[in-house]
Chains A and B, each alone.
Chain A
Protein backbone atom coordinates (compact mmCIF):
# COMPACT_ATOMS: atom_id res chain seq x y z
CA UNK A 1 0.00 0.00 0.00
CA UNK A 2 2.81 2.44 0.89
CA UNK A 3 4.55 1.99 -2.50
CA UNK A 4 1.26 2.32 -4.35
CA UNK A 5 0.51 5.53 -2.48
CA UNK A 6 3.94 6.96 -3.28
CA UNK A 7 3.53 6.03 -6.94
CA UNK A 8 0.11 7.67 -7.13
CA UNK A 9 1.45 10.79 -5.40
CA UNK A 10 4.15 10.94 -8.09
CA UNK A 11 1.52 10.53 -10.80
CA UNK A 12 -0.45 13.46 -9.39
CA UNK A 13 2.57 15.76 -9.83
CA UNK A 14 2.07 15.42 -13.61
CA UNK A 15 -1.23 17.35 -13.45
CA UNK A 16 -1.24 21.14 -13.90
CA UNK A 17 -0.47 22.90 -10.60
CA UNK A 18 -3.93 24.50 -10.28
CA UNK A 19 -5.76 21.20 -10.85
CA UNK A 20 -3.51 19.47 -8.32
CA UNK A 21 -4.10 22.20 -5.75
CA UNK A 22 -7.87 21.92 -6.18
CA UNK A 23 -8.31 18.14 -6.41
CA UNK A 24 -5.00 16.44 -5.48
CA UNK A 25 -5.89 15.62 -1.88
CA UNK A 26 -9.35 14.30 -2.87
CA UNK A 27 -7.88 12.20 -5.67
CA UNK A 28 -5.35 10.69 -3.29
CA UNK A 29 -8.12 9.82 -0.80
CA UNK A 30 -10.28 8.30 -3.55
CA UNK A 31 -7.30 6.25 -4.75
CA UNK A 32 -6.75 4.97 -1.19
CA UNK A 33 -10.45 4.04 -0.84
CA UNK A 34 -10.42 2.26 -4.20
CA UNK A 35 -7.15 0.44 -3.52
CA UNK A 36 -8.31 -0.74 -0.08
CA UNK A 37 -11.63 -1.89 -1.55
CA UNK A 38 -9.99 -3.93 -4.33
CA UNK A 39 -7.48 -5.41 -1.90
CA UNK A 40 -10.26 -6.40 0.52
CA UNK A 41 -12.53 -7.92 -2.14
CA UNK A 42 -9.94 -9.60 -4.39
CA UNK A 43 -7.12 -10.31 -1.93
CA UNK A 44 -4.55 -8.43 -4.03
CA UNK A 45 -4.40 -5.54 -6.46
CA UNK A 46 -3.72 -6.97 -9.91
CA UNK A 47 -2.32 -5.76 -13.21
CA UNK A 48 -5.77 -4.92 -14.59
CA UNK A 49 -6.26 -2.31 -11.84
CA UNK A 50 -2.95 -0.60 -12.68
CA UNK A 51 -3.47 -0.72 -16.45
CA UNK A 52 -6.91 0.85 -16.16
CA UNK A 53 -5.62 3.47 -13.73
CA UNK A 54 -2.62 4.40 -15.90
CA UNK A 55 -4.70 4.68 -19.08
CA UNK A 56 -7.30 6.85 -17.34
CA UNK A 57 -4.72 9.10 -15.66
CA UNK A 58 -2.71 9.55 -18.90
CA UNK A 59 -5.85 10.66 -20.75
CA UNK A 60 -6.88 12.95 -17.94
CA UNK A 61 -3.42 14.54 -17.45
CA UNK A 62 -3.23 15.36 -21.19
CA UNK A 63 -6.76 16.77 -21.14
CA UNK A 64 -6.14 18.97 -18.07
CA UNK A 65 -2.94 20.37 -19.59
CA UNK A 66 -4.78 21.11 -22.84
CA UNK A 67 -7.58 22.91 -20.99
CA UNK A 68 -5.17 24.84 -18.74
CA UNK A 69 -3.11 26.02 -21.74
CA UNK A 70 -6.18 27.03 -23.74
CA UNK A 71 -7.64 29.09 -20.87
CA UNK A 72 -4.29 30.71 -20.11
CA UNK A 73 -3.60 31.61 -23.75
CA UNK A 74 -7.08 33.11 -24.22
CA UNK A 75 -6.68 35.31 -21.15
CA UNK A 76 -3.11 36.25 -22.12
CA UNK A 77 -4.33 37.32 -25.57
CA UNK A 78 -7.00 39.54 -23.98
CA UNK A 79 -4.46 41.15 -21.63
CA UNK A 80 -1.77 41.67 -24.28
CA UNK A 81 -3.06 44.80 -26.07
CA UNK A 82 -3.72 46.95 -22.96
CA UNK A 83 -0.35 45.95 -21.52
CA UNK A 84 1.39 46.64 -24.83
CA UNK A 85 -0.21 50.12 -24.89
CA UNK A 86 0.95 50.85 -21.33
CA UNK A 87 4.53 49.70 -21.98
CA UNK A 88 4.65 51.53 -25.33
CA UNK A 89 3.46 54.80 -23.76
CA UNK A 90 6.00 54.46 -20.94
CA UNK A 91 8.84 53.77 -23.37
CA UNK A 92 7.92 56.75 -25.57
CA UNK A 93 7.84 59.01 -22.49
CA UNK A 94 11.24 57.78 -21.34
CA UNK A 95 12.82 58.05 -24.80
CA UNK A 96 11.49 61.60 -25.27
CA UNK A 97 12.96 62.62 -21.94
CA UNK A 98 16.43 61.38 -22.93
CA UNK A 99 18.88 63.54 -24.94
CA UNK A 100 18.67 62.74 -28.67
CA UNK A 101 21.97 62.66 -30.55
CA UNK A 102 21.64 62.93 -34.35
CA UNK A 103 21.07 59.44 -35.86
CA UNK A 104 21.32 58.06 -39.38
CA UNK A 105 18.30 56.73 -41.29
CA UNK A 106 19.18 53.12 -40.37
CA UNK A 107 19.67 54.09 -36.73
CA UNK A 108 16.27 55.78 -36.71
CA UNK A 109 14.58 52.66 -38.14
CA UNK A 110 16.38 50.48 -35.57
CA UNK A 111 15.19 52.72 -32.74
CA UNK A 112 11.64 52.64 -34.13
CA UNK A 113 11.72 48.81 -34.31
CA UNK A 114 13.01 48.65 -30.72
CA UNK A 115 10.23 50.99 -29.66
CA UNK A 116 7.68 48.45 -30.94
CA UNK A 117 9.55 45.24 -30.14
CA UNK A 118 10.40 45.96 -26.51
CA UNK A 119 6.81 46.70 -25.38
CA UNK A 120 5.69 43.67 -27.44
CA UNK A 121 8.06 41.28 -25.66
CA UNK A 122 7.30 42.83 -22.26
CA UNK A 123 3.55 42.70 -22.94
CA UNK A 124 3.70 39.03 -24.00
CA UNK A 125 5.76 37.94 -20.98
CA UNK A 126 3.72 39.90 -18.42
CA UNK A 127 0.30 38.97 -19.89
CA UNK A 128 1.22 35.25 -20.03
CA UNK A 129 2.49 35.32 -16.44
CA UNK A 130 -0.54 37.24 -15.18
CA UNK A 131 -2.89 34.86 -17.03
CA UNK A 132 -1.17 31.91 -15.35
CA UNK A 133 -1.66 33.41 -11.90
CA UNK A 134 -5.33 34.31 -12.56
CA UNK A 135 -6.32 30.93 -14.10
CA UNK A 136 -4.56 29.05 -11.28
CA UNK A 137 -6.36 31.15 -8.66
CA UNK A 138 -9.75 30.65 -10.34
CA UNK A 139 -9.25 26.88 -10.63
CA UNK A 140 -8.34 26.59 -6.95
CA UNK A 141 -11.35 28.72 -5.92
CA UNK A 142 -13.70 26.55 -7.99
CA UNK A 143 -12.25 23.29 -6.73
CA UNK A 144 -12.33 24.28 -3.10
CA UNK A 145 -15.92 25.47 -2.94
CA UNK A 146 -15.90 28.85 -4.64
CA UNK A 147 -19.10 27.93 -6.47
CA UNK A 148 -22.48 27.27 -4.90
CA UNK A 149 -21.68 26.74 -1.26
CA UNK A 150 -23.93 24.32 0.60
Chain B
Protein backbone atom coordinates (compact mmCIF):
# COMPACT_ATOMS: atom_id res chain seq x y z
CA UNK B 1 0.00 0.00 0.00
CA UNK B 2 1.25 3.49 -0.82
CA UNK B 3 1.53 6.08 1.92
CA UNK B 4 -0.01 9.13 0.26
CA UNK B 5 1.28 11.42 3.05
CA UNK B 6 4.91 10.42 2.51
CA UNK B 7 6.94 13.17 0.84
CA UNK B 8 8.26 12.62 -2.67
CA UNK B 9 11.71 11.01 -2.87
CA UNK B 10 14.48 13.60 -3.27
CA UNK B 11 16.93 13.74 -6.15
CA UNK B 12 20.52 12.75 -5.22
CA UNK B 13 21.64 16.37 -5.69
CA UNK B 14 18.96 17.76 -3.35
CA UNK B 15 19.56 15.06 -0.72
CA UNK B 16 23.31 15.67 -0.70
CA UNK B 17 22.83 19.44 -0.43
CA UNK B 18 20.53 18.90 2.58
CA UNK B 19 23.18 16.63 4.13
CA UNK B 20 25.88 19.24 3.49
CA UNK B 21 23.82 21.86 5.32
CA UNK B 22 22.70 19.56 8.16
CA UNK B 23 25.22 20.82 10.71
CA UNK B 24 26.16 24.31 9.60
CA UNK B 25 25.55 27.11 7.13
CA UNK B 26 27.63 26.98 3.96
CA UNK B 27 28.23 29.00 0.80
CA UNK B 28 28.06 27.57 -2.72
CA UNK B 29 31.58 26.24 -3.07
CA UNK B 30 31.58 24.76 0.45
CA UNK B 31 28.37 22.90 -0.43
CA UNK B 32 29.93 21.64 -3.67
CA UNK B 33 33.02 20.34 -1.83
CA UNK B 34 30.96 18.76 0.96
CA UNK B 35 28.77 16.91 -1.55
CA UNK B 36 31.81 15.50 -3.34
CA UNK B 37 33.39 14.47 -0.03
CA UNK B 38 30.22 12.98 1.53
CA UNK B 39 29.49 10.90 -1.57
CA UNK B 40 33.08 9.70 -1.87
CA UNK B 41 33.31 11.46 -5.23
CA UNK B 42 30.25 9.63 -6.62
CA UNK B 43 28.17 12.82 -6.83
CA UNK B 44 30.11 15.51 -8.68
CA UNK B 45 28.05 18.63 -8.88
CA UNK B 46 28.81 21.44 -11.30
CA UNK B 47 27.90 25.08 -10.80
CA UNK B 48 24.79 24.83 -12.97
CA UNK B 49 23.39 21.80 -11.15
CA UNK B 50 24.21 23.31 -7.76
CA UNK B 51 22.50 26.66 -8.32
CA UNK B 52 19.58 25.10 -10.21
CA UNK B 53 19.00 22.84 -7.20
CA UNK B 54 19.42 25.73 -4.73
CA UNK B 55 16.83 27.74 -6.67
CA UNK B 56 14.27 24.91 -6.46
CA UNK B 57 15.07 24.25 -2.81
CA UNK B 58 14.62 27.94 -1.91
CA UNK B 59 11.27 27.93 -3.73
CA UNK B 60 10.21 24.73 -1.90
CA UNK B 61 11.29 26.17 1.46
CA UNK B 62 13.84 23.40 2.11
CA UNK B 63 16.69 25.89 2.56
CA UNK B 64 16.90 29.59 3.31
CA UNK B 65 19.24 32.45 2.66
CA UNK B 66 21.48 32.88 5.74
CA UNK B 67 22.92 36.22 4.63
CA UNK B 68 26.26 37.33 3.24
CA UNK B 69 29.53 37.04 5.12
CA UNK B 70 33.18 37.69 4.33
CA UNK B 71 35.41 34.62 4.41
CA UNK B 72 39.11 34.30 5.29
CA UNK B 73 40.02 35.85 1.90
CA UNK B 74 37.80 38.87 2.64
CA UNK B 75 35.42 38.03 -0.23
CA UNK B 76 31.73 38.27 0.62
CA UNK B 77 29.71 35.12 -0.13
CA UNK B 78 26.07 34.19 0.32
CA UNK B 79 25.42 31.44 2.86
CA UNK B 80 22.53 28.97 2.97
CA UNK B 81 20.96 27.15 5.89
CA UNK B 82 18.55 24.26 6.34
CA UNK B 83 14.93 25.09 7.28
CA UNK B 84 12.73 22.88 9.49
CA UNK B 85 10.98 21.61 6.33
CA UNK B 86 14.38 20.80 4.82
CA UNK B 87 15.47 18.88 7.92
CA UNK B 88 12.18 16.97 7.87
CA UNK B 89 12.64 16.12 4.17
CA UNK B 90 16.20 14.94 4.86
CA UNK B 91 15.10 12.63 7.70
CA UNK B 92 12.24 11.29 5.56
CA UNK B 93 14.76 10.42 2.84
CA UNK B 94 17.10 8.79 5.39
CA UNK B 95 14.18 6.68 6.67
CA UNK B 96 13.42 5.68 3.07
CA UNK B 97 17.06 4.60 2.58
CA UNK B 98 16.98 2.67 5.87
CA UNK B 99 13.76 0.86 4.90
CA UNK B 100 15.21 0.00 1.49
CA UNK B 101 18.38 -1.31 3.11
CA UNK B 102 16.31 -3.48 5.46
CA UNK B 103 14.51 -4.98 2.46
CA UNK B 104 17.83 -5.60 0.73
CA UNK B 105 19.12 -7.36 3.86
CA UNK B 106 15.91 -9.41 4.16
CA UNK B 107 16.30 -10.66 0.59
CA UNK B 108 20.01 -11.33 1.18
CA UNK B 109 20.93 -9.08 -1.71
CA UNK B 110 23.83 -7.21 -0.16
CA UNK B 111 26.94 -7.32 -2.36
CA UNK B 112 29.31 -10.13 -1.36
CA UNK B 113 26.69 -12.89 -1.33
CA UNK B 114 24.13 -14.07 1.20
CA UNK B 115 24.32 -13.06 4.88
CA UNK B 116 26.91 -14.87 7.04
CA UNK B 117 24.36 -17.13 8.86
CA UNK B 118 23.14 -18.57 5.54
CA UNK B 119 26.60 -18.89 4.00
CA UNK B 120 28.00 -21.07 6.82
CA UNK B 121 26.67 -24.65 7.02
Chain A contributes a number of interface residues (CB within 8 A of B) equal to 30
Q: With the chains together, A63 CA to B81 CA distance in Å?
A: 25
Q: Which of A31, A139, A144 contacts B65 (CB 8 A)?
A: A144
Q: Is B46 an interface residue (CB 8 A)?
A: yes
Q: Which of B44, B48, B59, B83 contacts A60 (CB 8 A)?
A: B48
Indicate if the CB atoms of B64 and A149 lie closer than 8 Å: yes
Indicate if the CB atoms of B48 and A57 lie closer than 8 Å: yes
18 interchain pairs (CB within 8 A)? A19-B55, A26-B27, A29-B77, A30-B28, A31-B47, A33-B28, A52-B46, A57-B48, A59-B49, A60-B46, A60-B48, A142-B59, A143-B55, A147-B58, A147-B65, A148-B63, A148-B83, A150-B65
A: which residues have CB within 8 A of B? Answer: 19, 22-23, 26-27, 29-31, 33-34, 37, 52-53, 55-57, 59-61, 63-64, 139, 142-145, 147-150
